[in-house]
Structure 1
């Protein structure tokens, strides 16, 4: 009888501890025959600003971000992306404070940053000055001491011995992997997102490791959120075309980012940008959008600052993030010339300079131009302008529906260069976006730019 009871118990518990082969990562599916879900209208002229709350200020508190909102408004950013704000797990914690991406409680607020009311105050103050707030959501994994591992053990993937396991193919030992074959997990995670939307007024989510979850999961979770908040913004940390058919408004522009790094390092020519866009247009649904960036929390902490990766090329590529079709993103500190890697698992506050950094004005000019000039709104036509040296010069034109235009002329090399550009559509008077001076062009435009120099012309 005891053997029969033991056998019965083993059969009942088997689903909780059974192992299965690690799931294959979903491959990119060409989706150019589809129409993308598209951006909310409010985001077409917006600029995203990523906030690492822990390192943003000397205190590392929500309240310090709230106090700095007027400066961010003056900078011109209008979508504030808060890196994960949840309590961090203690089991297998990395470093003294742990990774933001090892959530111990999806419904809680990390006391390191403040209270729930402090977060509400931040969101309300941002809304009051016309900014949106999106949260970094980590749906692929949680810390090993997250209560879900006890209350819902069926939510998790396990190894052959029935143990919780880190995400497949990673060294992320401070987190454990969910099993997305479990239908109730989708219900739970959708409810988590709705909690933040309904109770805190959150405007959308940047979704961590979006490439690790199946597209049908995303489609349904996002559908439920949009049933409550139709204009919620969803940003995927992925570059999978199929995810923008019914779920995500925006994906990471990884290929563009890598192309910019390689051009800055003189490993590829300026035309590498065209190659990246050719791939995008061939694979992504019509009307898709990508986030364009030169830094982020991952890039800064693990790959290096833009000064390490791009050298003197950091400035033209910062400008290009606004001229290229997509949605630009600034990582906190870039506007002040942050030139060091921020620690990831311990306090390492940004030291904000007393004097205004030259990069601040660069971003102020470009955020204002993107917000006010329809030619730079996401989805406005973009055209590469041929020069007699396309390997060195990158010239492009953006055109609004009403005919207004913005032209960018860039020397994307470490040497001074000359070339010619011929295009009858360029003839006429233009305004230099940075100097304000009037510039008269003929159909034949001689280009003579120092290394890494650029001009942005508005008509």
Structure 2
């Protein structure tokens, strides 16, 4: 396991990526996981070194309705195929993360079928029940039944599952819907897993609430930073960068306790290119890759793909497309834009050269509806190195003192000032005097 400080994840939703049917209509076994091995070179060329996989365990439809935690979904292949993918990743210095769906199971989970047939069976203890004895569905999804996290048997099962796959090479876990599981459950399970695999990285999906308390009490390394995701795309889309400023203040507070898992796209949300538009896509990416955090790039975002999540059956399909084999050139993915890939590579390269950004704090130097200038500074242990990040989504120039131009668009140095033109952005080395003007 590479230190989290140096990991940039490439996040893939496997069933969609390999073109498997996710409706449940066609569960014909097929060996598709090897397709992902062909994409590992692309992952490295992007600048990433972590492969974050969505659900790979046997499930009825979309991967989040588990049938068997100890079996790879036959639509993807076999355990041997998954281990081969992990081994191929490790041979290239790539860490692998699995998606642990431990809040609920699907209707075909064998113990659930037994519990439904015989509510007095021992298996019934595995599932949460309401006061009338009815099984509890996850957030109203009738096909997903919530596990009883107060039962020792459930804690033992999850510990066994995580340990089993760690023993097969898994380096990290995403805990799906971790926010719905009692925190004391994780504080029982994770120490038992880490007793055998002390280096495993564990990140929980938490959408809202007290992130820091969740990490501290649950014993995780990180949680998903949805507040920052919202602050980035919504502030840009609404031309209200004060909202981003607020999110940055919150983000600084989290960094006092843990390093959040940061992203501008994932398998559950509308693609960032569709949220902010092509003109400001690089503004969002510049923030992701210069702010403190452990960044994740959702597959296809590095190509500038567009797609909208819809609240309907099959509404996730557009944001979970099939890529298949990379062939000779990954840029042949339909809709891929080479310039967006190049931008990702440039900004990831910049982050690699400034590894202290992992725990960096930000200070807003100036903010308006259409522009924001932020100084990003490393901790005292990092020598308090700093960068200036300036975003302009308006129609007037923005100027701020700077000493060195590092990256940007419609921007450059004018003597001792950084000038960022309309709808431009820049990352620069700081000047002694950091008071901006204009905009």
Smaller-chain TM-score range? 0.7 to 0.9
Residue of 222, 234, 246 corresponding to 1:250: 222
Q: Give the gaps of 5 or more residues in structure 2.
A: 21-30, 115-121, 325-329, 431-439
Tell me the secondary structure at the aligned position of residue 261 of structure 2: strand
Q: Is the 8 A contact 1:53 1:61 kept in 2?
A: no
1:335 Cα deviation (Å)? 1.1
1:280 Cα deviation (Å)? 4.2
1:3 matched to which residue of 2? none
Question: Relative to structure 1, is the Cα distance of residues 323 and 345 closer, same or farther in structure 2, using a 3 angstrom cutoff?
Answer: closer
The separation in 1 between residues aligned to 2:251 and 2:307, in whole angstroms, is 32
2:362 matched to which residue of 1? 382
Is the counterpart of residue 63 in structure 1 residue 64 in structure 2? no
Is the counterpart of residue 260 in structure 1 residue 239 in structure 2? no
Structural mapping, 1:286-435, within 5 Å: 286-299=256-269, 304-311=270-277, 312-341=279-308, 344=316, 348-350=321-323, 353-354=331-332, 357-376=338-357, 378-384=358-364, 386-387=365-366, 390-400=368-378, 401-402=382-383, 404-411=385-392, 413=393, 415-422=394-401, 426=402, 428=403, 430-433=404-407
The separation in 2 between residues aligned to 1:345 and 1:324, in whole angstroms, is 30
Is the counterpart of residue 223 in structure 1 residue 184 in structure 2? no
Structural mapping, 1:16-415, within 5 Å: 42-57=3-18, 61-89=32-60, 98-149=61-112, 150=114, 152-159=123-130, 162-167=133-138, 170-198=139-167, 200-238=168-206, 239=208, 240-245=211-216, 247-266=219-238, 269-282=240-253, 284=254, 286-299=256-269, 304-311=270-277, 312-341=279-308, 344=316, 348-350=321-323, 353-354=331-332, 357-376=338-357, 378-384=358-364, 386-387=365-366, 390-400=368-378, 401-402=382-383, 404-411=385-392, 413=393, 415=394
Report the structure number with the largest CA radius of gyration: 1
The separation in 1 between residues aligned to 2:173 and 2:351, in whole angstroms, is 22
1:161-202 superposed Cα distances (whole Å, 9 cap, x missing partner)? 5332312xx23122101111212211121111000101x210
Tell me the secondary structure at the aligned position of residue 212 of structure 2: coil
Q: Is the 8 A contact 2:56 2:63 kept in 1?
A: yes
Tell me the secondary structure at the aligned position of residue 141 of structure 2: coil
Q: Is the 8 A contact 1:155 1:179 kept in 2?
A: yes
1:73 Cα deviation (Å)? 0.8
Name which structure has the greater RCO, CA cutoff 8 Å, separation 6+: 1
2:119 matched to which residue of 1? none
1:310-340 superposed Cα distances (whole Å, 9 cap, x missing partner)? 1232221012111121122111111112223
Runs of 4 or more, structure 1, over 6 Å off, are none
* TM-score, with structure 1 as normaliser: 0.78
The separation in 1 between residues aligned to 2:317 and 2:398, in whole angstroms, is 48
1:289 Cα deviation (Å)? 1.7
1:335-384 superposed Cα distances (whole Å, 9 cap, x missing partner)? 112223485479951486427621111111122222232332x1134332
Which one is further off, 236-245 or 341-350?
341-350
1:248 Cα deviation (Å)? 1.4
Question: Relative to structure 1, is the Cα distance of residues 356 and 279 closer, same or farther in structure 2, using a 3 angstrom cutoff?
Answer: closer
The separation in 1 between residues aligned to 2:110 and 2:32, in whole angstroms, is 25
* TM-score, with structure 2 as normaliser: 0.81
Q: Give the gaps of 5 or more residues in structure 1.
A: 1-39, 90-97
The separation in 2 between residues aligned to 1:255 and 1:219, in whole angstroms, is 24
Tell me the secondary structure at the aligned position of residue 263 of structure 1: helix
